[in-house]
Amino acid sequence: MTGCGEIHRPVLDALAIVKRFAGSRLHVYPLSEVVPIKGIVRGPWLETVLERDEEGQERVNRIAYEVCVLLALRERLRSKEIWIEGANRYRNPDEDLPGDFDQERSTYYAALKLPSTAEAFIAGIKREMQEALTGFHDGLAANEYVKIEEKNRGRIRLSPLPVQSEPANLGALKARMVERWPMTSLLDVFKETDLRIRFTDVFRSATVWENLDREVLQERLLLTLYGLGSNAGIKRMSAGQQRTNYKDLLYIRRRYINKDQLRAAIREVVNATLRARSPEIWGHGTTACASDSKKFGAWDQNLMTEWHARYGGRGVMIYWHVDRKSACIYSQLKRCSSSEVAAMIEGVLRHCTDMEVQRQYTDSHGQSEVAFAFCRLLGFELLPRLKAIATQRLYRTDDSTAYPGLAPVLSRTINWELIPQQYDQMVKYATALRLGTADTDDILRRFRRSNVQHPVYKALAEMGKATKTIFLCRYLQSLELRREIHEGLNVIENWNNVNDFIYFGKGGEMASNRIDDQEIGMLCLHLIQLSLVYINTLMIQQVLAEPAWSGRLNTDDRRGVTPMIHSHINPYGSFRLDFHSRLPLDPPRFGPQSIGAQLLLGYEQMTG
């Protein structure tokens, strides 16, 4: 086990002490033993670890100290400030970076579309920063929605967006869809998507030999995927099927369905949806995407389930990436305490669809200064909706006293000297993220506020401050940009709401303690919901092609039209009421008498 500097020597020394006394029965460490406390024991643990003996001397409780050492070790291993020789996930962090960077430096820079010199890179950021600050400052007097207040050491007061007029024809559009396709089975929607796209063709057996007829296999695959994606279960889906039983679907689940094939099927549906969209209705190709997480309840006897600090309750998080027209391009199963910044970057880089993400919307939890820096290096724009906008600060490009109207919220000058010193290292880490040679969450853990001494963190933080200043100036100056971000995040909120409509089984809780089963259930839900978006896209286009709807939609209608509609969908099955059929039960004891007559007769029999 190795550390990356003297700052982590106390953890290594503490581990040596724990190992030396592992077989001991001592309650406290001997007074002669030098036990490191700083950097190991924190917060309320200090009162538990340090105790006094009968003579009033301070002693270190061995068991409590071992717990603190393991907690400190866990934190250092996850951020790779300490690593283990010969390990994979907890290996030397230098092994995560491309080993041939010095030989292929120009290739890696070209792949990220970055200038090869730090001076040219900084000059571009400085120019953008000055233009953004100047534009915001000069337009502040005419900006009726933004005010700079001097109280509380400077605050930004941002008025709410003006209310837009409600679309006039969307209600009629939904009613027309209900009229043409009343109570359409969600399973039929899923089936129709496969008949048009043939996404089940990507599901192949793990073995070379396949004996099942493809038509039979297609039916069983759809039933199994629907049972997993709706959380109803494959046993419920097998009930009432004429040529399929539970064992058949269980065989399909074990033999044919895995994460890679599910992601390939999702990719087919997303690409088909992008191709099927009519530009007259949905607009031309989009490069903007919104990301957010949703909490799902889950059994708590596994390493993934955690208690959620904000939403409460035990469960897991599913992080979605949805474009502005409701097509979800990527999904991830995450722990409740995992970084949303890492999930945001992971989705942009790994979605594998035909869509190219250039603008990424997120909420306050999906952004940070380091995130702004990495997004700039990776070539896409981070556009968050900041909750605490009043306390945000802008940074200066130099020591001049320009922008007097922004003085209350202007902070110090960016330390530009740090960026050239670590420019190659920052590009190395960005390349590792792009190539996937290291987990995004593991890399970002290295660059957090508790590790401010890391030289690359210092450079990333300065670069992030500059990039965030550029965004804040544009965000506060442009009403259209703020509205664009809000609309993008509203789309993903709508996607999250439809999750509950589809994933109805077992109260919407993941009833499995296997992480692989939870992830497969998430991907099946993703596939079903994408199928709903695909079919709704076709339905809306057919309705709008009718003569009565020609030219009916106005600008507000086109802004609000969405394929994430389910008022015409029945996810639970068919319900038929037929008074001419009866359940095969024994005839009633009292004949066709009324309930009142039956109760009276029973009372008379009891009283004699």
Q: Where are the domains of the chain?
A: 2-91, 170-265+512-549
What confidence tens digit (pLDDT) does each residue in 66-76 have? 999 999 888 88
Dihedral sign for Cα 202, 205, 207, 208, please. Answer: negative
pLDDT band at 53 (very low <50, low <70, confident <90, very high): confident
191 has pLDDT over 90: yes
Say if residues 82 and 446 touch (Cβ distance below 8 Å): no
Percent above pLDDT 70 for the chain: 92
Distances from the Cα of 123 to the Cαs of 119, 189, 309, 370, 439, in angstroms? 6, 53, 42, 20, 31
Dihedral sign from CA coordinates of 289, 290, 296, 302: positive
Residue 90 pLDDT? 79
pLDDT at position 601: 52
State residue 310's pLDDT score: 82
pLDDT of 533 reads 96
What was the pLDDT predicted at 518? Answer: 93
Give the C-alpha distances (Å, rounded to integers) separating 39 from 71, 81, 153, 458. Answer: 11, 13, 34, 21
Cα 532 → chain centroid: 20
In the numeric block, which tokens belong to residue 296?
């799902």
Contacting residues for 203 by C-beta, under 8 A, at least 6 apart: 221, 256, 257, 261, 265
Q: Encoding tokens for residue 395?
A: 């940074």
Q: Tell me: the pLDDT tens digits for 122-176?
A: 999 999 999 999 999 999 999 999 999 888 788 999 999 898 888 889 999 999 9
CA distance 31 to 40: 18
Q: What is the DSSP letter of 366?
A: G
- The Cα–Cα gap between 453 and 430 comes to 20
pLDDT of residue 482 exceeding 70 = yes
CA dist., res. 140 & res. 208, Å (int):
68
Whole-angstrom distance, CA of residue 38 vs CA of residue 4: 18
> Could you tell me the pLDDT band of residue 2, with boundaries at 50, 70 and 90?
low
Q: Which amino acid is at 567?
A: S
Residues whose CB falls within 8 Å of the CB of residue 144, separated by 6 or more in sequence, listed in order: 159
pLDDT (tens digit per residue) in 544-581: 999 999 889 888 888 889 999 999 999 887 666 667 77
Tokens encoding 125: 């950021």
Round the average pLDDT of the chain to a whole number and report it. 88
- Per DSSP, the three-state class of 360 is strand
**Is the pLDDT score of 437 beyond 90?**
no
Q: What angle do CA 361, 367, 369 make, to 5 degrees?
A: 130
The kind and range of the H/E element at 443 are helix 440-445
Tell me how many degrees the CA angle 563-567-572 measures, rounded to the nearest 5.
110
Residue 303 has pLDDT above 90, yes or no: no
In this predicted structure, the answer to whether residue 249 has a pLDDT above a threshold of 60 is: yes
Q: From residue 474, how far is each of 132, 133, 399, 479 by CA, in Å?
A: 6, 9, 22, 9
How high is the pLDDT of residue 447?
A: 78
Only one residue has tokens 């995407």, namely 289
Residue 149 φ/ψ, nearest 5 degrees: -105, 145
Q: What is the mean pLDDT of residues 248-277?
A: 94
Half-sphere CA count of 267, side-chain side, radius 13 A: 14
- Pick from 406, 482, 471, 474: which is nearest to 156 by CA? 406
Average confidence (pLDDT) over 251-274 = 95
Q: Which two tokens stand for residue 80?
A: 């790779």
- Confirm if 392 and 482 have CB atoms less than 8 A apart: no
Phi, psi of 603 (to 5 degrees): -65, -40
Q: Is 185 helix (H, G, I), strand (E, B) or coil?
A: strand
Distance separating alpha carbons of residues 362 and 368, to the nearest angstrom:
11
pLDDT tens by residue, 313-371: 899 999 999 999 999 999 999 999 888 999 999 999 999 888 999 999 999 999 999 99
Q: Give strand ranges (E) for 504-582.
A: 569-570
**What backbone phi and psi angles, to 5 degrees, belong to 570?**
-115, 105
Q: What is the pTM of this model?
A: 0.86
Quick count: other Cβ atoms within 10 Å of Cβ 567? 9
Whether residue 181 has pLDDT greater than 60: yes
Among 147-161, 391-405, 486-500, 542-556, the range of highest mean pLDDT: 486-500
* Predicted local confidence at residue 424, as pLDDT: 93
Residue type, 502: I
* Rounded Cα distance, 403 and 396, in Å: 9
Q: Say if residue 498's pLDDT is above 60.
A: yes
pLDDT at 43 exceeding the cut of 90: no
Extract the tokens encoding 421: 């010193």
Pairing of strands 306-307, 314-323: antiparallel
- Chain segment 357-387, per-residue pLDDT in tens: 999 999 999 999 999 999 999 999 999 999 8
The two structure tokens encoding residue 571: 């996810």
The pLDDT assigned to 576 comes to: 65
Asked if the model's pLDDT at residue 5 lies above 70, the reply is no
Query: How many residues in total does the chain contain?
Result: 608
CA distance 30 to 10: 18
Confidence (pLDDT) at 608: 53
